[in-house]
């Protein structure tokens, strides 16, 4: 079977597995290695020390699988059909429907079930389907977010989209509200055609960032990013950044909300990415709920959620900052895309 035919099979079976975009990148050193090294050397990664420890692995996917020749990259939409209304009204934010009080905000990707498990299972099923269809032995390693690979660089090389000025992968029809997953494999596949950058002169994402985390187009200082501060940063958040964080308590969607390519994004086809009634948090949690949570409540409500990445102390810290900001709205700008 030719490499081109095998790539066609990969794309066909990937779409059958539920992925909206499937592409192939060559397993070779990433194009952005020089900038990645500079970014690390300047400490832009904050407390994410694993990025520095695994820089060599991330720069070359061949180092995580002997004999690797190709990387299959997939994209899975997570944006909900009625998410604009949900972001405003926030159903399911408390066990009492009529409960009122200051509310926080949670990034869309964390509204449903943990994507790591869902995508990993789908990718393993895709590997099994490929073994049956291709009929030749090969090795494969499934990667989802936590593996030492440069997902966005690989996605761009695989034609999933282009890396936008906000450092997110963007597709002209799918926008950027999608997860990425990879299969590093010894299969010899025909690489997909990379997509041209369509950001043009637009700087809406850069201009909208509340904390000015972008030091330039395509360049981010993670230590100023609200998503980093609320999810990865373990200690006290710098006082000068706290008023700029608004009501975000887990993640941030601002730079994506203002992107023109996210205006008409199709909804997810995966029901498990929809709001889960068992979790009273997303998308607008009562801040007093977070401030008074016990360890047992956190464990109970966040089981199976990507939000378990944040410790109880972090959630309380984030909620305390959001509570003060909501009580004193003059010190921060409401960054809801609908109010831009």
Q: Are 301 and 279 in contact (CB under 8 A)?
A: yes
Helices assigned H by DSSP within the chain: 3-16, 33-41, 49-53, 55-59, 83-89, 115-134, 151-157, 204-208, 226-231, 254-257, 287-291, 295-302, 312-327
DSSP 99: -
Q: Are 217 and 165 in contact (CB under 8 A)?
A: yes
Q: Are 332 and 246 in contact (CB under 8 A)?
A: yes
* Long-range CB contact pairs, 41-46, < 8 A, 24+: 43/223, 44/220, 44/221, 44/222, 44/223, 45/222, 45/223, 46/222, 46/223, 46/228, 46/232, 46/233
Task: Give the pair of three-digit tokens for residue 116.
Answer: 């790591």
User: Does the annotation mark 60 as catalytic?
Assistant: no
3-state secondary structure of 180: strand
Task: Select which of 8, 60, 145, 336 is catalytic.
Answer: 145
Which residues are catalytically annotated?
145
């Amino acid at each position: 079977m030719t490499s081109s035919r095998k790539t066609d099979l990969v794309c066909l079976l990937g779409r059958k597995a539920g992925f909206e975009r499937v592409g192939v990148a060559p397993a070779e050193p990433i194009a952005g290695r020089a900038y990645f090294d500079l970014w690390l050397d300047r400490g832009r990664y904050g407390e994410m020390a694993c990025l520095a420890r695994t820089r060599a692995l991330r720069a070359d996917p061949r180092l995580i699988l002997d004999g690797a020749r190709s990387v299959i990259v997939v994209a899975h939409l997570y944006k909900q059909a009625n998410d604009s209304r949900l972001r405003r009204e926030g159903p399911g934010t408390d066990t009492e429907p009529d409960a009122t009080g200051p509310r926080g905000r949670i990034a869309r990707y964390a509204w449903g079930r943990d994507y790591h498990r869902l995508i990993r299972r789908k990718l393993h099923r895709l590997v099994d389907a490929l073994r049956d269809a291709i009929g030749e032995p090969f090795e494969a390693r499934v990667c989802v977010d936590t593996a030492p690979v440069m997902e966005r660089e690989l996605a761009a090389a695989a034609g999933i989209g282009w890396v936008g000025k906000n450092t997110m992968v963007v597709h002209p029809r799918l926008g950027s509200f999608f997860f990425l997953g990879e299969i590093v494999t010894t299969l010899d596949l025909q690489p997909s055609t990379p997509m041209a950058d369509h950001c043009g002169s637009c700087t809406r994402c850069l201009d909208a960032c509340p904390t000015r985390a972008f030091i330039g187009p395509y360049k981010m200082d993670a230590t100023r990013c609200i998503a980093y501060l609320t999810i990865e940063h373990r200690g006290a958040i710098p006082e000068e950044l706290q008023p700029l964080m608004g009501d975000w308590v887990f993640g941030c969607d601002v730079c994506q909300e203002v992107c023109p390519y996210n205006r008409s994004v199709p909804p997810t086809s995966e029901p498990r990415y929809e709001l889960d009634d068992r979790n009273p948090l997303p998308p607008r949690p009562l801040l007093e709920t977070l401030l008074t949570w016990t360890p047992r409540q956190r464990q109970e409500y966040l089981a199976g959620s990507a939000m378990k990445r944040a410790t109880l102390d972090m959630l309380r810290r984030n909620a305390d900052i959001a509570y003060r900001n909501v009580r004193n709205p003059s010190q921060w700008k409401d960054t809801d895309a609908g109010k831009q």
